[in-house]
Amino acid sequence: MSSTPPATPAATPASTPTAAGGSPAMQSRHLSVWFGKRKVLEDVNISFPANTCTALIGPSGCGKSTYIRTLNRLHELIPGAGLAGDVLHNGRDIYARDVDPVTVRLAIGMVFQKPNPFPSMTIRGNVLSGLKLSGMKRPNHDEIVEDTLRKAGLWNEVKDRLSHAAGELSGGQAQRLVIARALAVQPQVLLMDEPCSALDPASTLKIEETIRELAESITIIIVTHNMQQATRVSDYTAFFLAAENEPGIVVEQGATTEIFSNPQDPRTLDYVNGRFG
């Protein structure tokens, strides 16, 4: 595939619509991000409507995974990391001095590219581990286990072996277990960084079904390199791009149907049609 085309002036991205009659569940305003002296993202403005799925697309190295990590303060755990601008959850800056990052990460969960259950812990124990680690007290653990595993699309496959070690699960099952674990602490937003990249097609399909169902009740933000996946699971899409030795920017954003069928920027059209990336 050809390399990224020469940079042209950044398009003015359209604002992603907010939930009807209200503020977005999350948004970043004029967000720029650094690793040491190297600027990796510049002036990112995206709004995420409540109870929808937004896909973040773009070539490798344009800052998508870095951006998603800023949305629950994981970015600040990296030595030398810095940012400017605002990240708002329900209208409140999550980086404000009086905001506890642990509280932020309970409200804004994360599912990573590689499934990371605790392999020697039981399936049931994995689901409840987030509650125990955070000190969150929720009654009726049996109900929580069943409810979250159902939401993650895994209950019917594991309901008779909840006491078995999670290490016995397949990759796709392990990823759905991780989703159930994240749901047990009742997040309002779930971040997913390429959650299907290491999975087979059948497992990917089940994860996508789970994402579509979850987006009816919580806000999903997913990084994906799979254009077909973006069209299948997301309501909105933001296209990131970085010119050589330049920070990543959002070229265009809007409803997924518009981004893929009628993009306003020629770079978006080239990318979604597979001409680079």
DSSP string, 179-246: HHHHHTT--SEEEEESTTTTS-HHHHHHHHHHHHHHTTTSEEEEE-S-HHHHHHH-SEEEEEE--TTS
Torsion of CA 170, 176, 179, 181, to 10 degrees: -60
Residue 27 tokens read as 């948004």
Q: What pLDDT shows up at residue 135? A: 82
Residue 131 lies in a domain: no
Residue 177 lies in a domain: no
Residue 50 lies in a domain: yes
Q: Into how many domains does the chain fold?
A: 1
Domain that holds residue 112: 26-117+188-272
Read off the CATH number of the domain in which 198 is found.
3.40.50.300
Residue 123 lies in a domain: no
Q: What pLDDT shows up at residue 6? A: 38
The Cα–Cα gap between 71 and 68 comes to 5
Contact criterion met (CB below 8 Å) for 122 and 129: no
Residue 6 lies in a domain: no
Splitting the chain (277 residues) into consecutive groups of 10 residues, what average pLDDT does each group show?
39 45 84 95 97 97 96 93 95 95 94 93 96 86 96 96 96 95 95 93 93 95 96 97 94 97 96 88
Residue 171 lies in a domain: no
Residue 125 lies in a domain: no
Residue 236 lies in a domain: yes
Q: What pLDDT shows up at residue 22? A: 55
- Positive or negative, the CA dihedral 148, 154, 156, 162 is negative
